[in-house]
Amino acid sequence: MAAEPSSFVTLLTDFGTDDPWVGSLKSVIWQISPGAKIVDVTHSVPAHDVFAGAFALYRCYRDYPEGTVHLCVVDPGVGGARRPILVATAGRCFVGPDNGLFSFVYEFDTVRQVVHLTCDQYFHLPVSGTFHGRDIFAPVAGWLAAGVAPSDFGPSIGDWVKLAVPVDRIAGDNLVRGEVCAVDRFGNCITNIRAATLGQFAERTGRRRFKVLVGGQEIPLVSAGGYGQDAPVFALMGSSGLLELASNQRSAAQVLGLTGRGKEVAIMGA
């Protein structure tokens, strides 16, 4: 049975833009689905960093309309034993390698089906051992956009690869725990602490003012004014619904002495 055609296909890769690989993906998709609207989410995921790709996808995929096909390629094991897969949720499809790239989708969305891509009539043949993005993932995304149903691409599986996704949590009577999961180009530190979790925390404790603790430093949590704050470093809910540590026209990561992800962040009632 054919699926409802999608007009949007997004691309998220670690390919960069200096080489011709992104253009090849687009060409394959358009040959199959000429009307597809292709959106470049990012091609600047750090090379081979599956977690970074997974978190970048998590932060943005809900910004696109239901029916969108998300083509994601961060694939250090290309040509090896890892499987090519398609993940179907209640409203979207994700195509890419079975290496944990869709771990946040598995954790926070409702997965209807995960398909092992085996039906090579939908592939770009012959399949290269080094460019499954062009030869498997892009054509499958194109056929999905054209209305082919997920189940037509291969058998369903239940043993997909999932990274150990860090999940924010309320700990005790007056504490929320999370961690920094990414640092953006402005030096903002994006955490895994969700607005929903903070809302639950506020309801449970009856508090409306909070402070954030990171690396032995206490910083205010602001609710208005965006990035234009007077405090040297502050915390706020960002556009992805996740807590960010920021600094006005400076790198919060540098101010806080953070070099990457993994630093614990805590929120307490003030």
% of the chain beyond a pLDDT of 90: 85
| Residue 237 buriedness (CB in 10 A; 0-12 / 13-18 / 19+) | middle
| Residue 246 buriedness (CB in 10 A; 0-12 / 13-18 / 19+) | buried
DSSP structural state of residue 220: E
Sign of CA dihedral 97, 103, 109, 110: positive
E-strand ranges in 52-135 read 69-73, 84-89, 93-97, 111-116
> pLDDT per residue over 149-170, tens digit each?
999 999 999 999 999 999 999 9
pLDDT at position 1 is 42
- Banded pLDDT at 6 (limits 50, 70, 90): low
- For residue 103, the SS3 value is helix
User: Domains (ranges, CATH) in the chain?
Assistant: 8-153 (3.40.50.10790), 169-269 (2.40.30.90)
> pLDDT per residue over 13-52, tens digit each?
999 999 999 999 999 999 999 999 999 999 999 999 999 9
| Residue 199 buriedness (CB in 10 A; 0-12 / 13-18 / 19+) | exposed
pLDDT at position 5 is 61
> pLDDT per residue over 207-249, tens digit each?
778 889 998 889 999 988 899 988 899 999 999 999 999 999 9
> pLDDT per residue over 60-78, tens digit each?
999 999 999 999 999 999 9
pLDDT at 4 over 70: no
pLDDT at position 170 is 94
> pLDDT per residue over 114-140, tens digit each?
999 999 999 999 999 999 999 999 999
Asked if 138 and 75 touch (Cβ cutoff 8 Å), the reply is: no
